[in-house]
Amino acid sequence: MVTAARVTGFGNATPECVEQEALWEGFFARHFAGARAAGRVFRSARVRRRHAAVNPLVEDVSTWSTGARMRRYAQEARPLGLGAVSAALADSGLAAEDVGLLAVASCTGYTTPGLDILVTAELGMPLDVQRLAIGHMGCYAAIPGLGAVSDFVVAREKAAVLLCLELTSLHLQPPVEDLDQAVAHSLFSDAAAAVVVQPGRGDGGLAIVDVAALTDPAGADHMTWDVTDLGFRMGLSPRVPDVLAHHVGPMITELLGRHGLTTADVDAWAVHPGGPRILDAVGEGLALPEEALSASRHVLAEHGNCSSATVLLVLEALRHGGRPRAGRYAVAMAFGPGLTLYAALLRAC
């Protein structure tokens, strides 16, 4: 009987890279001319470069209908999804025909037939491969997605793939004086990230030990993602870091405690870099040393906030850096609408 699932392969694919300063000078300085503090917001985002399937320096989609944006999503998402899943399968040493489930998480676009069907068909996965679409959960979707595919792997004794694909650049909003929109447009980016999860406790990979969640309904209006006639509109409250700081310590202490662990036993922290203030709040809430969040800060600087794909990019960066070390633990966590915190406890096999 299989009692464990482990992440054995990582892959990612990103569209064109754009420098943050070029975006500000070439487009957003004019776009947010009515918001006097927007320049300060962009400079404080701690983002050096981002990736954009729809580059505002080339085309301004702020007046596009939601329908037009969804058609562009279908066009741009397919090659990125194929690239990320192919890379993850190659990294794990598995063939497409070995996959029993493909789960796709995205909150930035919808199309039917969806990415789950297009990717399974083009890569040659079996006709009876199971599929799961995880929609509109936002930045934390990778963690419940990881929990769902690991449950499948243990129950069915077959490998699974989780693909997180977000094209936030499609949802450029019309010019406003609202600083919430300046914050969102200073941070968000595009990426596809995939992981392969296999059954067993074999050599290598990251065993998925546990998954935990916490939702504070009092913060339900602090982070929103509304479908409008002009794409999806982000709502961000400046209170989000304070709410996270209040909850993250007790939540992670409880998750670790049920396995006889403390934060001192964690060798790697993969924290979703929702923004610099969020990383600061998590670090303070868990009393982490500054270097504990270096991988998260690096991904924020080099990729921006890619919504659900971001925490997988951080995990991949940690793995390339040799963390967590063999036999040691990692914690991956992400945050989103609800206000919701999700975390996964992983152990290096």
Domain hosting 321: range is 206-348
Task: Please report, for the domain that includes residue 289, its CATH number.
Answer: 3.40.47.10
The pTM of this model reads 0.97
Are the beta carbons of 173 and 233 closer than 8 angstroms?
Answer: yes
* CA–CA distance, 316 with 303 (Å, rounded to integer): 13
- pLDDT score recorded for residue 35: 85
The domain boundary residue, chosen from 167, 199, 231: 199
Describe the crossing of helices 240-257 and 276-286 by its angle, rounded to 10 degrees.
Answer: 40
The answer to whether residues 318 and 330 touch, using CB atoms and an 8 Å cutoff, is yes
Same domain, residue pair 186 and 216: no
CA distance 313 to 334: 12
Structure tokens at 107: 């909150």
Which of 199, 224, 255 is the last residue before a domain boundary?
199
Nearest by Cα to 100 from 153, 141, 56:
153
One domain, residues 193 and 228:
no
Active-site amino acid positions:
139
- Polymer length of the chain: 349
Task: Give dist(CA 305, CA 314) in Å, integer.
Answer: 11
Residue 1 has pLDDT above 70, yes or no: no
Q: What are phi and psi of 25, to 5 degrees?
A: -65, -40
Same domain, 53 and 135: yes
- Residue 32 has phi, psi (to 5 degrees) of -110, 35
Percentage of the chain lying above the pLDDT 90 cut = 93
Query: Among residues 199, 224, 251, which one ends one of the domains?
Result: 199
Q: Per residue in 178-201, pLDDT tens?
A: 788 999 999 999 999 999 999 986
**Rounded to whole angstroms, how far apart are CA atoms 21 and 34?**
19
Residues 280, 193 share a domain = no
> pLDDT per residue over 22-70, tens digit each?
999 999 999 999 888 999 999 999 999 999 999 999 999 999 999 999 9
Mapped onto helix, strand or coil, the DSSP state of residue 339 is coil
The CA-atom distances, in angstroms, between 140 and each of 234, 259, 287, 339 are 15, 23, 22, 10
71 and 173 inside one domain = yes
- Quick one: 47 and 188 in the same domain? yes
Q: Does residue 170 surpass a pLDDT of 80?
A: yes
Structural domains counted in the chain: 2
Residues 146 and 242 in one domain: no
